[in-house]
Structure 1
Amino acid sequence: MVPEAEFTSYYGRPVVKAPPWGEDVPAYLFLGGLAGGSALLAAGAQFTRRPTLRRNARLGAITAIGLGSVALVRDLGRPERFLNMLRTVKVTSPMSIGSWILAAFGAGAGVTTALELDRMTGRRFPLGPLRRVLPFVDGAAGVWTALFAPPLAAYTAVLLADTAVPTWNAARDELPFLFVGSAALSAGGLAMITTPLAETGPARTFAVAGAVTKVAASEVMKHRMDPTVAQTLHHGGAGKMLRASEILTVVGGLGALLAGRHRAIAVGSGLALLASSALTRFGIFEAGIHSAKDPKYTIVPQKRRLAARRAAGITDDSITTAG
């Protein structure tokens, strides 16, 4: 009998090269989602005449995208590398399209933030000659930012899935929904912390919708993934973070439903939702890095797919041979 093959590779090197990304990347994944969700919530507050929620969501969006941009540039090493990505538009590249989404979103968020700061300072913010123009574009800038909010929250999932990293690629169908849901619950959570109860109704609804979307996408993802690759979502540091995220999502979502009259519950729920979103992004990131380092997560699913094709009678294409 031939013994079971051990999963090794030439000179002990991984089959798939893990991306050379540090902790700044998952931080950007979280902050970009928070910024996108906050901008969408701000647009809703703008149209429903909730000025405090609008202001806080706009300030949350610009703070998150600012910190996220810092994390992104830190990982790139030199700021000009980001500017170089704006020299062309490549529709087949999630990174190229994502760079333009980030730039367009940041421009709109900058305009709305300047207007909010001007209101907060009693029209003493140093806008100079722009003071006569910006008030007329307030509504349009809010809509502009909101249009780029969902792509900002989702494109990083496409960016991860468009790699050969086993976990990320196996989750390519569900990962955008998971990230969008995570963005919504984090934005709703931040607004619940910063905004009085009288105006947090839309934020709580947004948070609950995000929690439901995240939980549903996570469960579908786990069931549809190859069982070997799915192990990376349950083991090690990634497994601990994702389990904690699931608990915090449920706790925060239930708290959002009950926080209508209790400020303390609203704040506690908001903190739980923010932590849940951050742990989701860091957990997914860690699971992907781990899957790239172990040949098992590349070879076993390939063998399983090959056996399925042969069982289906497919033996004459470039993937399957009649062995």
Structure 2
Amino acid sequence: MVKELVGVIGGTGLGDALAAKLARVERHEVQTPFGAPSGPIIVGTLGDRRVAFLNRHGPGHRFGPGDVPYAANIFALKQLGARAVIASGAVGSLREEIAPGDLVVVDQFIDKTFRRTGTFFGGYGAVHCEMADPTCDRLRATLLDVARPTGIRIHSQGTYVCMEGPQFSTRAESKMHRAWGGDLIGMTAMPEAKLAREAQMCYALVALASDYDCWRPHDPAKGKQTLIEEIISNLQTATDNCLRLIEALLTVQTPLVCEDCACRKALEMAVWTDPKQIDAARKVGLAPLFE
């Protein structure tokens, strides 16, 4: 019997490989109060679990990191019934010990984005979610448990600095991010993680290290083409390992959705506005967030 729907957000390579393993596949074109998501959501079953996959950047990588419709993506998954999200994304490493090709189960973020819709509640009222622990400890622990038998090189924690982009960091910025305590640098985890919390969804992120960020000089003997080939190879290795990890997670018997998890109660004390002051139509439109 199918037990639960779990959302998966990632890139085209991961999505194509995962879709090939799903049974009873359906394609959903979803509309939300925040517009359309990045693309169709592919829903199917893997074992006794339903899976909803969404390509973050859309078909053909049409959305750059600053243009991804993050709010529509998360809202659409919640609207379809997902209560937990496993996300993946490529990053640069800010630490010598996080080598290209490694995976990191992220536990903290530093948000440097500034152009993106970072909340569902603009114009709704004052809504303040706790973000001290921005990822779901329960999902993270399950990911690490299923990773152990696989032999995948994986780091149990890491702080992800999310920059606006689309340009990469200057060397001075890269060194600053290291001084801040950042372990990874990327462009896509925020506001995705914040929106998942506002949607009362459990959220975990597996980061795929493609290369070292520019704090670490490249080998001057290697040309640009060689460096690009190395990055693509590292990313492919990390993607293959991430697919193995996510497949192992989705087939484990441990529940991935838990109604007693604190993530599932994120709005209980978050709405500060007098309910009588909240527009009735907005309440109806955002009702899926409160389910």
Q: Work out which of the two has the higher radius of gyration on C-alpha atoms and give 1 or 2.
A: 1
- TM (norm. structure 2) is 0.35
| Greater strand fraction, Structure 1 or Structure 2 | 2
Specify which structure has the bigger relative contact order, considering alpha-carbon pairs within 8 angstroms and separated by 6 or more residues: 2
TM-score, reference length from structure 1:
0.32
